[in-house]
Amino acid sequence: MKKKLVASLAAAMILGVAGTSFAAVVNPFSDVPAKHWSYDAVTKLAHDGILEGYGDGTFRGDKTISRYEMAIIVAKAMSKVDQADAGNKVLIEKLSNEYASELDKLGARMTTVENKVDNVKWSGFVRGKYDSDTSDGHNISGGNKHYFLALEGTAKINDRWEGHFASETRHDYTTSGWGGVIPPDTNNGDGTWFRIWASGSVGEVGVAAGRKWFGYGDNMVWGHEATGIWLDIPTGTFKTSLFAAKPTQGNGAVSLKDAYDTNIYGANFNGDIAKNVNVNLLLGGNKDDGEQQMSRWGGLTVTSKIAKDLKLTGTYAKTNADDFNKTHHIRLDYKGTDLNKTGSYGVYARFFKFGVNGDPSHDDEWDSLKSDSRGWMVGVDYVVGKNIQWTNIYSDQKVNISDSATEYNRKLFRTQFDLHF
Protein backbone atom coordinates (compact mmCIF):
# COMPACT_ATOMS: atom_id res chain seq x y z
CA MET A 1 0.00 0.00 0.00
CA LYS A 2 2.81 2.44 0.87
CA LYS A 3 4.58 1.84 -2.44
CA LYS A 4 1.35 2.47 -4.33
CA LEU A 5 0.74 5.59 -2.26
CA VAL A 6 4.16 7.15 -2.98
CA ALA A 7 3.95 6.49 -6.69
CA SER A 8 0.39 7.80 -6.94
CA LEU A 9 1.09 10.97 -4.99
CA ALA A 10 4.26 11.77 -6.92
CA ALA A 11 2.49 11.19 -10.23
CA ALA A 12 -0.33 13.44 -9.15
CA MET A 13 2.05 16.26 -8.29
CA ILE A 14 4.11 15.93 -11.45
CA LEU A 15 1.04 15.77 -13.68
CA GLY A 16 -0.19 18.94 -12.00
CA VAL A 17 -3.56 17.62 -10.96
CA ALA A 18 -3.17 17.41 -7.18
CA GLY A 19 -3.88 20.45 -5.06
CA THR A 20 -6.47 22.00 -2.83
CA SER A 21 -9.02 21.70 -5.64
CA PHE A 22 -9.84 18.89 -8.01
CA ALA A 23 -10.85 20.56 -11.27
CA ALA A 24 -12.08 18.55 -14.21
CA VAL A 25 -9.40 17.40 -16.66
CA VAL A 26 -9.41 15.59 -19.96
CA ASN A 27 -8.56 11.97 -19.14
CA PRO A 28 -9.12 8.40 -20.28
CA PHE A 29 -11.05 7.35 -17.16
CA SER A 30 -14.82 7.09 -16.83
CA ASP A 31 -16.80 9.28 -14.44
CA VAL A 32 -17.71 8.16 -10.96
CA PRO A 33 -21.55 7.83 -10.89
CA ALA A 34 -23.30 10.62 -8.99
CA LYS A 35 -24.77 8.23 -6.39
CA HIS A 36 -21.53 6.31 -5.83
CA TRP A 37 -20.65 5.62 -2.19
CA SER A 38 -17.15 7.03 -2.56
CA TYR A 39 -18.50 10.62 -2.61
CA ASP A 40 -19.92 10.15 0.88
CA ALA A 41 -16.70 8.46 1.99
CA VAL A 42 -14.52 11.33 0.76
CA THR A 43 -16.91 13.88 2.32
CA LYS A 44 -16.58 12.11 5.67
CA LEU A 45 -12.77 12.12 5.42
CA ALA A 46 -12.87 15.83 4.64
CA HIS A 47 -15.21 16.48 7.58
CA ASP A 48 -12.79 14.60 9.87
CA GLY A 49 -9.80 16.65 8.64
CA ILE A 50 -8.11 13.90 6.65
CA LEU A 51 -8.71 15.72 3.35
CA GLU A 52 -9.07 19.34 2.29
CA GLY A 53 -11.68 20.31 -0.24
CA TYR A 54 -12.11 23.25 -2.57
CA GLY A 55 -11.36 25.83 0.10
CA ASP A 56 -14.96 26.13 1.26
CA GLY A 57 -14.87 22.78 3.05
CA THR A 58 -16.82 20.90 0.36
CA PHE A 59 -16.06 18.52 -2.46
CA ARG A 60 -18.79 19.85 -4.78
CA GLY A 61 -21.13 16.95 -4.30
CA ASP A 62 -23.34 18.30 -7.06
CA LYS A 63 -20.66 17.62 -9.67
CA THR A 64 -19.41 14.25 -10.85
CA ILE A 65 -15.71 13.64 -11.27
CA SER A 66 -13.70 10.99 -13.08
CA ARG A 67 -12.27 7.90 -11.49
CA TYR A 68 -8.88 9.38 -12.31
CA GLU A 69 -9.57 12.48 -10.19
CA MET A 70 -11.07 10.33 -7.45
CA ALA A 71 -7.93 8.18 -7.41
CA ILE A 72 -5.86 11.33 -6.82
CA ILE A 73 -8.12 12.24 -3.90
CA VAL A 74 -7.74 8.72 -2.54
CA ALA A 75 -3.96 8.96 -2.86
CA LYS A 76 -4.06 12.14 -0.77
CA ALA A 77 -6.14 10.34 1.84
CA MET A 78 -3.67 7.46 1.87
CA SER A 79 -0.91 9.95 2.72
CA LYS A 80 -2.79 10.89 5.90
CA VAL A 81 -3.68 7.36 6.99
CA ASP A 82 -1.49 7.67 10.09
CA GLN A 83 -3.68 10.57 11.25
CA ALA A 84 -6.93 8.64 10.81
CA ASP A 85 -8.86 6.83 13.51
CA ALA A 86 -9.74 3.15 13.16
CA GLY A 87 -12.99 3.84 11.28
CA ASN A 88 -11.40 6.16 8.76
CA LYS A 89 -8.51 3.77 8.23
CA VAL A 90 -11.04 1.15 7.18
CA LEU A 91 -12.66 3.70 4.88
CA ILE A 92 -9.34 4.66 3.27
CA GLU A 93 -8.50 0.99 2.72
CA LYS A 94 -11.91 0.45 1.10
CA LEU A 95 -11.33 3.43 -1.21
CA SER A 96 -7.85 2.24 -2.15
CA ASN A 97 -9.28 -1.15 -3.14
CA GLU A 98 -12.08 0.45 -5.15
CA TYR A 99 -9.65 2.60 -7.14
CA ALA A 100 -6.74 0.15 -7.20
CA SER A 101 -6.65 0.07 -11.00
CA GLU A 102 -6.45 3.85 -11.29
CA LEU A 103 -3.84 4.04 -8.56
CA ASP A 104 -1.78 1.43 -10.40
CA LYS A 105 -1.99 3.46 -13.60
CA LEU A 106 -0.83 6.56 -11.73
CA GLY A 107 2.03 4.44 -10.36
CA ALA A 108 2.94 3.27 -13.87
CA ARG A 109 3.11 6.88 -15.05
CA MET A 110 5.25 7.75 -12.05
CA THR A 111 7.60 4.86 -12.75
CA THR A 112 8.26 6.36 -16.19
CA VAL A 113 8.87 9.79 -14.64
CA GLU A 114 11.10 8.32 -11.92
CA ASN A 115 13.19 6.51 -14.50
CA LYS A 116 13.80 9.81 -16.27
CA VAL A 117 14.54 11.71 -13.05
CA ASP A 118 16.78 8.95 -11.66
CA ASN A 119 18.66 8.86 -14.93
CA VAL A 120 20.82 11.78 -13.75
CA LYS A 121 22.73 11.69 -10.46
CA TRP A 122 24.24 14.82 -8.94
CA SER A 123 27.17 15.24 -6.58
CA GLY A 124 29.61 17.94 -5.56
CA PHE A 125 30.59 20.26 -2.76
CA VAL A 126 30.54 23.87 -1.62
CA ARG A 127 33.80 25.19 -0.18
CA GLY A 128 34.91 28.17 1.83
CA LYS A 129 38.70 28.63 1.95
CA TYR A 130 41.21 30.95 3.61
CA ASP A 131 44.95 30.95 2.92
CA SER A 132 47.73 32.77 4.74
CA ASP A 133 50.59 32.48 2.24
CA THR A 134 53.68 34.44 3.24
CA SER A 135 57.41 34.84 2.69
CA ASP A 136 59.39 36.68 5.39
CA GLY A 137 56.12 38.10 6.69
CA HIS A 138 54.91 39.41 3.32
CA ASN A 139 51.88 38.08 1.49
CA ILE A 140 52.95 36.30 -1.66
CA SER A 141 49.57 34.99 -2.79
CA GLY A 142 45.97 35.69 -1.94
CA GLY A 143 44.20 33.89 -4.74
CA ASN A 144 43.03 31.02 -2.55
CA LYS A 145 40.73 33.03 -0.34
CA HIS A 146 37.53 32.07 -2.03
CA TYR A 147 34.13 30.44 -2.13
CA PHE A 148 33.91 27.52 -4.52
CA LEU A 149 31.23 25.26 -5.97
CA ALA A 150 32.02 21.97 -7.72
CA LEU A 151 29.09 20.24 -9.40
CA GLU A 152 29.10 16.97 -11.34
CA GLY A 153 26.27 15.21 -13.09
CA THR A 154 26.24 11.59 -14.22
CA ALA A 155 23.60 10.50 -16.73
CA LYS A 156 22.89 6.85 -17.48
CA ILE A 157 22.91 6.17 -21.21
CA ASN A 158 22.40 2.41 -21.08
CA ASP A 159 23.58 -0.54 -19.01
CA ARG A 160 27.18 -0.02 -20.18
CA TRP A 161 27.63 3.71 -20.74
CA GLU A 162 27.30 6.95 -18.77
CA GLY A 163 27.70 10.60 -19.68
CA HIS A 164 29.44 13.01 -17.27
CA PHE A 165 29.51 16.79 -17.04
CA ALA A 166 31.24 18.97 -14.44
CA SER A 167 31.15 22.64 -13.56
CA GLU A 168 33.18 24.82 -11.20
CA THR A 169 32.36 28.30 -9.93
CA ARG A 170 34.79 30.34 -7.84
CA HIS A 171 34.47 33.77 -6.22
CA ASP A 172 37.46 35.35 -4.46
CA TYR A 173 36.43 37.39 -1.45
CA THR A 174 39.87 39.02 -1.04
CA THR A 175 43.14 38.78 -2.95
CA SER A 176 46.29 40.64 -2.00
CA GLY A 177 50.00 40.46 -2.65
CA TRP A 178 53.09 42.53 -3.08
CA GLY A 179 51.74 43.85 -6.35
CA GLY A 180 48.66 45.42 -4.74
CA VAL A 181 45.10 44.43 -4.06
CA ILE A 182 42.69 42.88 -6.54
CA PRO A 183 39.06 43.95 -5.95
CA PRO A 184 36.96 41.52 -3.92
CA ASP A 185 34.28 39.32 -5.51
CA THR A 186 36.55 38.51 -8.43
CA ASN A 187 34.93 35.64 -10.31
CA ASN A 188 37.56 33.09 -11.31
CA GLY A 189 35.12 30.35 -12.37
CA ASP A 190 32.27 31.01 -14.74
CA GLY A 191 30.20 27.95 -13.91
CA THR A 192 30.18 26.51 -17.44
CA TRP A 193 30.17 22.77 -18.08
CA PHE A 194 33.83 22.72 -19.01
CA ARG A 195 34.47 19.01 -18.38
CA ILE A 196 32.40 16.64 -20.47
CA TRP A 197 33.18 12.97 -20.99
CA ALA A 198 31.66 9.54 -21.41
CA SER A 199 32.61 6.32 -19.67
CA GLY A 200 31.63 2.75 -20.29
CA SER A 201 32.96 -0.52 -21.57
CA VAL A 202 33.57 -2.40 -24.78
CA GLY A 203 33.62 -6.05 -23.87
CA GLU A 204 35.85 -6.32 -20.81
CA VAL A 205 37.74 -3.09 -21.54
CA GLY A 206 36.74 0.05 -19.66
CA VAL A 207 36.68 3.18 -21.81
CA ALA A 208 36.55 6.91 -21.02
CA ALA A 209 36.73 9.67 -23.61
CA GLY A 210 36.37 13.44 -23.49
CA ARG A 211 37.68 16.21 -21.25
CA LYS A 212 38.22 15.17 -17.62
CA TRP A 213 40.53 15.41 -14.64
CA PHE A 214 42.64 12.30 -14.11
CA GLY A 215 45.49 11.06 -11.97
CA TYR A 216 47.27 7.84 -11.04
CA GLY A 217 48.78 6.60 -7.79
CA ASP A 218 48.87 9.50 -5.32
CA ASN A 219 48.71 12.04 -8.22
CA MET A 220 52.30 13.12 -7.62
CA VAL A 221 53.44 12.20 -11.13
CA TRP A 222 50.34 13.21 -13.07
CA GLY A 223 47.23 14.78 -11.59
CA HIS A 224 45.56 17.31 -13.89
CA GLU A 225 42.95 17.80 -16.57
CA ALA A 226 43.23 16.66 -20.19
CA THR A 227 41.17 15.83 -23.25
CA GLY A 228 41.70 12.33 -24.55
CA ILE A 229 40.88 8.65 -24.29
CA TRP A 230 41.56 6.19 -21.46
CA LEU A 231 41.39 2.40 -21.58
CA ASP A 232 41.29 0.12 -18.52
CA ILE A 233 42.35 -3.38 -19.47
CA PRO A 234 41.90 -6.36 -17.12
CA THR A 235 45.26 -8.12 -16.93
CA GLY A 236 45.04 -10.41 -13.95
CA THR A 237 46.68 -9.26 -10.74
CA PHE A 238 47.68 -5.88 -12.15
CA LYS A 239 45.19 -3.46 -13.67
CA THR A 240 46.55 -1.90 -16.86
CA SER A 241 45.45 1.53 -18.09
CA LEU A 242 46.44 3.15 -21.38
CA PHE A 243 45.92 6.81 -22.24
CA ALA A 244 46.48 9.37 -25.00
CA ALA A 245 45.51 12.97 -24.23
CA LYS A 246 46.19 16.68 -24.59
CA PRO A 247 46.63 18.78 -21.42
CA THR A 248 44.01 21.51 -21.05
CA GLN A 249 45.06 23.46 -17.95
CA GLY A 250 47.88 25.41 -19.52
CA ASN A 251 51.39 26.27 -18.48
CA GLY A 252 50.48 27.57 -15.04
CA ALA A 253 49.08 24.23 -13.85
CA VAL A 254 51.55 21.75 -15.30
CA SER A 255 55.32 21.30 -15.37
CA LEU A 256 55.38 20.80 -19.12
CA LYS A 257 56.19 23.90 -21.12
CA ASP A 258 53.64 25.09 -23.70
CA ALA A 259 51.34 22.39 -22.43
CA TYR A 260 48.52 23.32 -24.81
CA ASP A 261 50.78 22.41 -27.73
CA THR A 262 51.79 18.92 -26.68
CA ASN A 263 50.22 15.49 -26.41
CA ILE A 264 50.83 12.94 -23.69
CA TYR A 265 50.54 9.18 -23.81
CA GLY A 266 51.41 6.29 -21.56
CA ALA A 267 50.49 3.27 -19.49
CA ASN A 268 49.72 2.79 -15.82
CA PHE A 269 49.97 -0.46 -13.88
CA ASN A 270 48.40 -0.93 -10.45
CA GLY A 271 48.12 -3.94 -8.17
CA ASP A 272 48.72 -5.43 -4.74
CA ILE A 273 52.02 -7.23 -4.30
CA ALA A 274 51.32 -8.23 -0.68
CA LYS A 275 48.44 -8.20 1.78
CA ASN A 276 48.94 -4.57 2.78
CA VAL A 277 51.14 -3.28 -0.03
CA ASN A 278 49.97 -1.67 -3.28
CA VAL A 279 52.24 -0.63 -6.14
CA ASN A 280 51.48 1.86 -8.91
CA LEU A 281 53.83 2.30 -11.90
CA LEU A 282 53.21 5.11 -14.39
CA LEU A 283 55.23 5.30 -17.63
CA GLY A 284 54.61 8.04 -20.16
CA GLY A 285 55.90 10.45 -22.71
CA ASN A 286 54.96 13.53 -24.66
CA LYS A 287 55.53 15.16 -28.00
CA ASP A 288 58.61 17.38 -27.89
CA ASP A 289 59.30 19.86 -30.68
CA GLY A 290 62.16 21.46 -28.79
CA GLU A 291 59.94 23.48 -26.45
CA GLN A 292 59.60 20.86 -23.72
CA GLN A 293 62.23 20.04 -21.15
CA MET A 294 61.28 16.34 -21.26
CA SER A 295 59.82 13.73 -23.58
CA ARG A 296 59.84 10.63 -21.37
CA TRP A 297 58.85 10.25 -17.72
CA GLY A 298 57.68 7.79 -15.13
CA GLY A 299 56.98 7.28 -11.47
CA LEU A 300 56.63 4.55 -8.87
CA THR A 301 54.22 4.85 -5.94
CA VAL A 302 54.16 2.34 -3.09
CA THR A 303 51.44 2.39 -0.44
CA SER A 304 51.65 0.25 2.68
CA LYS A 305 49.34 -0.13 5.65
CA ILE A 306 51.98 -0.46 8.33
CA ALA A 307 49.57 -0.60 11.29
CA LYS A 308 45.83 -0.65 11.93
CA ASP A 309 45.36 3.12 11.51
CA LEU A 310 48.69 4.00 9.89
CA LYS A 311 49.40 4.21 6.16
CA LEU A 312 52.68 5.14 4.47
CA THR A 313 52.87 6.29 0.83
CA GLY A 314 56.01 7.06 -1.12
CA THR A 315 56.50 8.27 -4.70
CA TYR A 316 59.63 8.58 -6.80
CA ALA A 317 59.40 10.17 -10.25
CA LYS A 318 62.00 10.90 -12.92
CA THR A 319 62.05 12.47 -16.38
CA ASN A 320 64.65 12.58 -19.15
CA ALA A 321 65.21 16.33 -18.70
CA ASP A 322 68.84 17.37 -18.38
CA ASP A 323 68.59 18.99 -14.93
CA PHE A 324 66.40 18.91 -11.81
CA ASN A 325 64.66 15.85 -13.17
CA LYS A 326 63.53 14.05 -10.02
CA THR A 327 60.53 14.26 -7.68
CA HIS A 328 60.17 12.70 -4.22
CA HIS A 329 57.05 12.60 -2.07
CA ILE A 330 56.38 10.79 1.23
CA ARG A 331 53.09 10.86 3.11
CA LEU A 332 52.17 9.32 6.47
CA ASP A 333 48.44 9.09 7.31
CA TYR A 334 46.88 8.33 10.68
CA LYS A 335 43.25 7.27 10.50
CA GLY A 336 41.01 9.11 8.02
CA THR A 337 37.64 10.79 7.75
CA ASP A 338 34.26 9.23 7.03
CA LEU A 339 31.79 11.89 5.91
CA ASN A 340 28.93 9.84 7.35
CA LYS A 341 30.51 9.83 10.83
CA THR A 342 30.59 13.07 12.78
CA GLY A 343 33.80 13.29 14.79
CA SER A 344 35.90 11.12 12.51
CA TYR A 345 39.29 12.59 11.63
CA GLY A 346 42.54 12.10 9.80
CA VAL A 347 46.02 13.42 10.58
CA TYR A 348 48.91 13.39 8.11
CA ALA A 349 52.46 14.55 7.51
CA ARG A 350 54.13 15.04 4.11
CA PHE A 351 57.70 15.53 2.98
CA PHE A 352 58.42 16.50 -0.62
CA LYS A 353 60.94 17.69 -3.16
CA PHE A 354 59.59 18.58 -6.60
CA GLY A 355 62.26 19.16 -9.23
CA VAL A 356 61.35 21.87 -11.69
CA ASN A 357 61.53 19.12 -14.34
CA GLY A 358 60.96 16.22 -11.97
CA ASP A 359 57.49 15.24 -13.16
CA PRO A 360 55.21 16.24 -16.05
CA SER A 361 52.34 17.52 -13.89
CA HIS A 362 51.79 16.54 -10.26
CA ASP A 363 48.59 17.72 -8.58
CA ASP A 364 49.58 21.01 -6.95
CA GLU A 365 46.48 20.90 -4.71
CA TRP A 366 45.43 24.51 -5.18
CA ASP A 367 49.02 25.79 -5.32
CA SER A 368 50.00 24.29 -1.97
CA LEU A 369 52.58 21.98 -3.62
CA LYS A 370 54.48 24.09 -6.10
CA SER A 371 56.87 22.77 -8.69
CA ASP A 372 60.56 23.49 -7.99
CA SER A 373 60.09 23.32 -4.21
CA ARG A 374 60.93 21.24 -1.17
CA GLY A 375 59.58 21.16 2.37
CA TRP A 376 57.07 19.58 4.69
CA MET A 377 53.38 19.80 5.47
CA VAL A 378 51.09 18.67 8.29
CA GLY A 379 47.32 18.52 8.10
CA VAL A 380 44.17 17.62 10.00
CA ASP A 381 40.79 16.72 8.50
CA TYR A 382 37.77 16.63 10.82
CA VAL A 383 34.10 15.84 10.14
CA VAL A 384 32.13 18.46 12.08
CA GLY A 385 28.77 17.16 10.85
CA LYS A 386 27.51 14.65 8.34
CA ASN A 387 29.01 15.51 4.92
CA ILE A 388 30.83 18.56 6.35
CA GLN A 389 34.63 18.40 6.57
CA TRP A 390 36.96 20.96 8.11
CA THR A 391 40.56 20.89 6.81
CA ASN A 392 43.61 22.67 8.24
CA ILE A 393 47.15 22.49 6.87
CA TYR A 394 50.46 24.13 7.65
CA SER A 395 53.50 23.94 5.36
CA ASP A 396 57.06 25.23 5.51
CA GLN A 397 58.75 25.29 2.10
CA LYS A 398 61.61 26.59 -0.01
CA VAL A 399 60.53 27.59 -3.52
CA ASN A 400 62.61 28.07 -6.71
CA ILE A 401 65.21 25.66 -5.36
CA SER A 402 66.77 25.30 -8.82
CA ASP A 403 67.95 28.93 -8.69
CA SER A 404 69.67 30.15 -5.52
CA ALA A 405 69.31 33.77 -6.65
CA THR A 406 65.50 33.63 -6.61
CA GLU A 407 64.94 30.97 -3.95
CA TYR A 408 62.64 32.05 -1.13
CA ASN A 409 61.04 30.69 2.03
CA ARG A 410 57.30 30.06 2.09
CA LYS A 411 54.94 29.51 5.01
CA LEU A 412 51.41 28.42 4.16
CA PHE A 413 48.44 28.07 6.49
CA ARG A 414 45.12 26.98 5.03
CA THR A 415 41.73 26.38 6.58
CA GLN A 416 38.66 25.37 4.63
CA PHE A 417 35.19 23.89 5.04
CA ASP A 418 33.79 21.49 2.44
CA LEU A 419 30.04 20.79 2.41
CA HIS A 420 29.42 17.71 0.31
CA PHE A 421 26.19 16.68 -1.36
Q: Residue 139 has what pLDDT?
A: 80
Provide Rg for the chain, Cα atoms. Answer: 30
Q: Residue 166 has what pLDDT?
A: 95
Q: Residue 161 has what pLDDT?
A: 97
- Domain 122-420: what homologous superfamily? Porin (2.40.160.10)
Measured distance CA(418)–CA(57) in Å, rounded: 49
- CATH 2.40.160.10, the chain: domain bounds: 122-420
Cα torsion angle, 218, 222, 224, 225, sign = negative
Measured distance CA(302)–CA(169) in Å, rounded: 35
Q: Which helix (H) or strand (E) holds 44?
A: helix 37-47
Q: Residue 53 has what pLDDT?
A: 53
Q: What DSSP assignment string belongs to 159-202?
A: SS-EEEEEEEEEEES-EEETTEEEPTTEE-----EEEEEEEEEE
> Chain-centre distance of CA 373, in angstroms?
30
pLDDT of the chain, 421 residues: tens digit per residue: 433 433 444 444 434 433 333 333 333 345 777 788 988 888 888 888 888 654 444 444 455 678 888 888 888 888 888 888 988 999 998 988 998 888 888 776 666 666 666 688 999 999 999 999 998 777 876 557 889 999 999 999 999 999 999 999 988 886 444 333 444 444 445 788 889 999 999 999 999 999 999 999 899 999 999 999 999 999 888 899 999 999 986 655 567 876 777 899 999 999 999 999 999 999 999 987 777 789 999 999 999 999 999 999 999 999 999 999 999 999 999 999 999 999 999 999 999 999 999 999 999 999 999 999 999 999 999 999 999 999 999 999 999 999 999 999 999 999 999 999 9
pLDDT digits (tens, 9 = 90+) for 148-160: 999 999 999 999 9
Q: With contact defined as beta carbons under 8 Å apart, do 135 and 35 qualify? A: no
Measured distance CA(101)–CA(409) in Å, rounded: 75
Measured distance CA(131)–CA(141) in Å, rounded: 8
C-alpha distance from residue 412 to each of 32, 142, 293, 376, 402 (Å): 74, 11, 29, 11, 20
**Can you list the alpha helix ranges (DSSP code H) found in 242-322?**
none
Q: With contact defined as beta carbons under 8 Å apart, do 284 and 263 qualify? A: no
Q: Residue 117 has what pLDDT?
A: 62
pLDDT digits (tens, 9 = 90+) for 41-54: 888 888 888 886 54
Measured distance CA(71)–CA(58) in Å, rounded: 17
In one-letter notation, the amino acid at residue 139 is N
Measured distance CA(335)–CA(236) in Å, rounded: 30
78-87: b or e for each residue (b if 16 or more CB lie within 10 Å)?
bbbbeebeee
Q: Say if strands 223-235 and 180-182 run parallel, antiparallel, or are unpaired.
A: unpaired
Q: Residue 132 has what pLDDT?
A: 92
Q: With contact defined as beta carbons under 8 Å apart, do 80 and 50 qualify? A: yes
Q: What is the DSSP letter of 30?
A: P
Q: What is the pTM of this model?
A: 0.72
